Every structure is written in structure tokens, then in C-alpha cells.
Structure 1
């Protein structure tokens, strides 16, 4: 009798174990079937909110709404661009210039779905020993080459009458993760070009000062979220869901930031190891498009075309568009109104206001 009872107990235990195993397999398969997207971001006042967006659960809430999963991954800036071009991540925070001269120039068709802000003093040229623009030729200049730092440097030189001396500049390519220490610990490096919060850290040393910043060229250095167009246009529609989810999460996050919500400020500051006070100072020189309307209005205005034309001509002049490119028109840009800068069969960068407008209309 005891043997029969024991046999029944074992049978029940085996059945329960089998059921749990099956349930686990089904659950794992369900998770595997959820379309997953990865967004790369790097340290910058306008991009740190991606860290808070994930930390707060805002991103998960919006991803769940659309039945997808979204991860955010921090990189050094240049490494994030490399990962995007290599198709190791689906979307990436980057400036308008890098969107044009890296993925677009490499033939990676990309779409800017969020125009987040423009640098209004975040990027700066900083010098020692009272150097002025006419003294920069021949000096070692530390920066992340082929980025907006190089663009800012040239615009500063041109606007200060030094265009003829551009070829005499000595550029020292330095990672954004190393540039503060490399500049501050080596007094023989007299010039650095970088962005906040790195600018703020460097300017804490009163022996150096800024001679030019991005507030002198408003709207020229745009900060975007860029998605590979093939991801956006996936046949199963998951790419569209991603664009809607990340846009909804972004505008919920930015609304909190603009309202001064304590955790939004705290965690965005903490993303780069900054104090709340330092981060608030950075935001003062970041012209956030805090509402989807302001972002959509800028993206659909003639202004963005004017600014992008300056950028694309710079990229071509500096050979940043790759070998065999005979003009800036060989890498074309299309805007929300359908107008194209460049050759129609060479469109590689797209500005898409659809999701910003949907957020404005409350349709996400």
C-alpha cells in the first residue's frame, strides 16, 4: 500500500516538474520572440536622459505598450558610431555631422527620428596661455577627429578670419574618455576642443579659458537619435513600433527634465558622474526641443536645410565622405517635405518628422 502511494507521489512530482519545465520553455520562447532593439548612447547633456529613461522604467513602459524590448547601451562616442555602422546596434545618438559623414558616407541608409536639441554653448575651443585664433596654427590641438569638434574648430577659425591657416592646424586625435586627463595633465598641450560635461570639467581650471563655443553657430550642431532605415522598415512592423515607443519614452522623459523633476535631473547627471548643479549648468547651454512640437517645427523648417548644407560641404571639403566621392551631392539628404540635397539616387540620410508629429498630436 505504501509502495503504491509512493509511486503515485513520484508520478505527481514528475508531472509537476514536467509542467514547470514546459512552462519555462514556453516563457523563454515567448521572450525570444519579442523583437528587441538596442540604442547606443554616449555621455552628453542631451543624451544622458537615455540612462534615466531606462533606470526609471519609462522606456520599459513604452516598449511593453508596443510589445517589444528596448535596451540602451553606453559607449565612448566614436565607438558608438562604429557599432552603428557595423550594424551591431539598431539606433544611436549622434550629431547631424556624424550622421552624414559616417553611416551615410559608409552607405548605411539611416533615418533621424528624433531631433533632440542643438548645442548652444556645450561645445567649446579651450586654450592655455591666452592663445587667440591667429596663434592656433602650429599648435597641438586635442579633439576627437572627424566629429563636430573638428567642425567647430574650423567654423571658429573661419569666422575669426583664419581660413587661410586651416591647413596649418595640428590635430591630435584623442578619445572623449581620455581627453580631460590628457589635456589637464600635460601642460604642453595648449588647445583642446570638446563638449560638455568635459568642457565644464576643464574650465574648472582657471588657467584656461574658452575662445569660441557653439552658441556662436546656433542650430549647426544638432543632436539626434538615428535608426538604420532597414530596421525602421522591417516587414513585420516592429521597426515602426520601436520608433513610436522610443519617441514616446523620450518626450515623457524630456518633459520631466524640463519641469525640473528631481529624479530626472539626478539620474541624468549621474549618468556621466556629474553633480546635479553641474548638470543643470550643462542644460543651460543645451537648447532642448523639450516638446515634440518644437522638434517637429525645426525639423520641417527651411533652417535645418541651411544648417545641413554647411555641414555637408565641410564634410566633403575634408574628405570625410570616403574615396571616390566627387562632390557633397554624392551623399544625399532627404527632408520631411520630400526635398533632397544631393543626387536623388544617392539618398543615405533621412530626416523623418513622423514620430515627433505623432507625439505632438498625442497619437503615440
Structure 2
């Protein structure tokens, strides 16, 4: 899941792409979606392998990326949509790569973690210590949420900017006391550092991190019916994964995409609360707090401003379109 990067270089390209008029030629093209290694997004692999998009009458082309690279591709107008966190949608928009969140896939329910190495038992033990994570990334948000609950300040720790995929190696550095990562990278970090353990996870604040499909405004406006069909396919995916009879097959498919054993991958599902269309529609209701996409996004926006990810607060409502989710 997931990076607060600056997309200044891609902004001009993105804006130009979004300003381009829709045409019948464009409409004939497949919907291009960037996805990356997070259980709530790898779940799409079930529909890909099963051929469910064709059955639904919609042509969708999924492209596999590292998370940050998927955001850069979206910013450059190379894909129509990207699977990201709600907070990262705001970050992309702040630098010109505007997108709208049109469907939810899940909320993180334990798979995002602040991991302490052996001997570190709680967040308070990190005072004055170095923590390796991608600065401004969703794990940064998670960390600050945890520090606040522990009556600590962000200045009580030192952030070392590290790419999420590099955190397993970084946790072995004697100078680093903890890292921030999500599954499956988090599991790799703990495997490679005996005695390492989660100190704070997204299960400690359900609804803090929502995972969404963010679409370019031009594509959504011109092909809303196709995006609605894709949402219906997602509902089928969730049902297949949640059904005890078919879950083993789903896990096998997802594990193969991520390159981990199925028995390991099944544990990741417990840390990701997949949201059906009905469940997602409830979260799309405008309300405060972490039970709402709006409330969670406002919290993320406040974090982004205070952390200096971008300067001015964003109009959160402009980044959310519940029209197909509410159907």
C-alpha cells in the first residue's frame, strides 16, 4: 500500500491527459488499472484469472507495479486508474494528478505495521530512536496516529526515509530500532529479524486507512457504466474470497501473484477487511470519523498538511464520487 510522493514532474502530463476530450476510439480501449502488492488489490487477480471481466462485458487491463511506480504512472496519464490509499489520492491531487475515489476495496485491519526489532516492546521504547519508513507514506500516518495515542510527539522519534520494499534489510541495521511496512513486506521484515514484532498496527485504528480505486476524472465521466460494471465484478471477487468453499482457490491465486506460499497468504486476509459493494456504500456516506471515507480522508488531509507533504488543505469532497457505489 502505498507513497506520499511529489508528482510535480508528472503533473503537466496528467493534466493534459485529463483535459483530452473523450472519443469513440478512446471508449473502445480497455480500462487500464495499476495495481500492486496489497491483499485488497491482489484480490483482483481472482477476477483476472477467472475471466470475470469479459463475462461482465467490460474490457479491463490490469498492470502490475511497485506501489510508488503505480502512482507515477497514473500521474503521467499512462493508466486510467490506480489502486491506492485514500490519503495518497489527496497527495497525487495536490501536485496536479487529480483523481476521484469511486470504489472501495478494503480497509487495513492489521496488515499495516510499525515493527520493532528484538527488545523493543512498545512505541514508548522508540523515544529518541530511529524508525525506517517511507517519509510521508501511509506508515508515517500510522506511526503518528500511534504516537498520539501513546502521548508522544513526532519529534520524539527520528524518521529515516526508506523505501517500503527495503525495510526488511533496514531492520537489520544496528542504528534502526523499528520500521514501518505492510504485508507481505512486513512479514518478510519480521522473518529476517528474529524477535521482531508489531508494536502498532492498523487494527488498533480500524478505518484509518481505506484502500480505493482512484480514477481519472475524464475516464470516469466518459465511461461511468464500465466502471460500474467493474464494481460489480469486485463484489463477485469479495464473495468468492469470503466463501469458505472457494476461499482456498482464491488464496492460491493471490499467493501466486505475490510469490508467497498459500498458507502464509491466508493470514494476510485477516489483516485486510475486504468490503462488498453494500459495505462500501455505507462507508461512502459523508460523516466524520473513521467509519466514513470522508472522515478518514479529512484526517489524512490534516496529517498531510501538518507533515508538510503538501501546503494547503484539500477539498476532500472533490476527490470522492459515490455515484456508482451508491447504486
Residue 18 of structure 1 corresponds to: none
In the superposition, relative to structure 1, how do residues 116 and 206 fare at CA in structure 2: closer, same or farther (>3 Å)? same
Q: CA deviation at 1:285?
A: 1.6
Correspondent of 2:301 among 287, 306, 312: 312
Does residue 294 of structure 1 match 2:279?
Answer: yes
SS in 2 for 1:271: helix
SS in 2 for 1:277: helix
Q: What is the distance in 2 between the residues matched to 1:222 and 1:253?
A: 18
Pairs within 5 Å for 1:31-42: 34-42=28-36
In the superposition, relative to structure 1, how do residues 224 and 33 fare at CA in structure 2: closer, same or farther (>3 Å)? closer
Residue 211 of structure 2 corresponds to: 223
**Alpha-carbon RMSD:** 2.2
Q: CA deviation at 1:125?
A: 0.7
Structure 1: unaligned runs, 5 residues or longer: 1-29, 335-346, 359-364
Correspondent of 1:130 among 106, 114, 119: 119
Q: What is the distance in 2 between the residues matched to 1:154 and 1:250?
A: 32
Pairs within 5 Å for 1:344-355: 347=318, 349-350=319-320, 352-355=321-324
Q: CA deviation at 1:283?
A: 1.0
Correspondent of 1:232 among 220, 241, 255: 220
Residue 6 of structure 1 corresponds to: none
Residue 21 of structure 2 corresponds to: none
1:85/1:106 contact within 8 Å kept: no
Deviations 1:134-176 (A, max 9, x none): 342443322122221110111111110112xx13533223233
2:114/2:201 contact within 8 Å kept: yes
In the superposition, relative to structure 1, how do residues 128 and 33 fare at CA in structure 2: closer, same or farther (>3 Å)? closer
Correspondent of 2:83 among 90, 93, 116: 93
Deviations 1:186-213 (A, max 9, x none): 3443211111112223334541111111
Pairs within 5 Å for 1:18-97: 34-62=28-56, 65-66=57-58, 69-97=59-87
Count, aligned residues:
296
Structure 2: unaligned runs, 5 residues or longer: 1-23
Correspondent of 2:315 among 332, 335, 339: 332
In the superposition, relative to structure 1, how do residues 192 and 34 fare at CA in structure 2: closer, same or farther (>3 Å)? same
Q: CA deviation at 1:75?
A: 0.8
Does residue 268 of structure 1 match 2:237?
Answer: no
SS in 2 for 1:248: helix
Correspondent of 1:282 among 268, 291, 306: 268
Does residue 196 of structure 1 match 2:190?
Answer: no
In the superposition, relative to structure 1, how do residues 157 and 213 fare at CA in structure 2: closer, same or farther (>3 Å)? same
Q: What is the distance in 1 between the residues matched to 2:196 and 2:118?
A: 7
Correspondent of 1:208 among 186, 196, 201: 196
Q: CA deviation at 1:32?
A: 9.0
1:37/1:71 contact within 8 Å kept: yes
Residue 150 of structure 2 corresponds to: 160
Q: CA deviation at 1:33?
A: 7.5
SS in 2 for 1:141: strand
The answer to which of 248-257 and 124-133 deviates more is 124-133
SS in 1 for 2:132: strand
Q: What is the distance in 1 between the residues matched to 2:66 and 2:27?
A: 30
Q: What is the distance in 1 between the residues matched to 2:159 and 2:75?
A: 24
Q: CA deviation at 1:35?
A: 2.0
Deviations 1:55-90 (A, max 9, x none): 22112332xx14xx3211111111111111221111
SS in 1 for 2:40: coil
1:152/1:214 contact within 8 Å kept: yes
TM-score normalised over the length of structure 1: 0.76
Larger radius of gyration: 1
